[in-house]
Amino acid sequence: LTWVTSSEQGSSYFGLEKSADGTHFQILATVQAAGISATSTRYHYLDPQVSAENFYRLKMVNRDGKFVYSNTILIENPGAPQEVWIGNNPVGNVLLIRLAKSPSHKVGIELFSETGQRVFAGDYGVQNEFSIDLSPYHLSHGIYILKTLVDDRIFVNKLIKQ
């Protein structure tokens, strides 16, 4: 991702935000701004988790705390391979899971303790983001293994429960 400012007056930083649906954004990175500049300044950031559809926007923050958002842009990568990412690791009571692209069939999710005991299982629709409330399962702190079945492929991720 690359953006350019023509000049800057009291800028502090850019909050680069990303969304899978164009509505619900999460902070991807923070990039320091030049602060004061009478010439154009070029900024860039390399997103390590590119999906099939990637919505981005900038939150331009001044030193006084005031901010403004850029327009939202969509960058498509239809050839992106399927991936499963945990959006918040370590995990609290809510587990956020994001897929690189929307699946063709329901998604199966299983969570296993470090000893191999299955502590959670569920099926989800054809969406590329999931939010799972783990609080009813009273999971202890530690390491867990997440198995995700997406379009006949199994993805395994390690996570830490806080």
The pTM score is 0.71
Structure confidence at residue 25 (pLDDT): 94
3-class state of residue 111 by DSSP: strand
Structure confidence at residue 80 (pLDDT): 85
User: Is residue 28 a contact partner of residue 59, using CB atoms and an 8 Å limit?
Assistant: no
User: Is residue 130 a contact partner of residue 87, using CB atoms and an 8 Å limit?
Assistant: no
User: Is residue 13 a contact partner of residue 61, using CB atoms and an 8 Å limit?
Assistant: yes
User: Is residue 157 a contact partner of residue 146, using CB atoms and an 8 Å limit?
Assistant: yes
Structure confidence at residue 87 (pLDDT): 87
For each successive 10 residues of the chain (162 residues), what is the average pLDDT?
A: 96 96 93 96 94 95 97 92 92 94 93 96 91 94 97 96 94
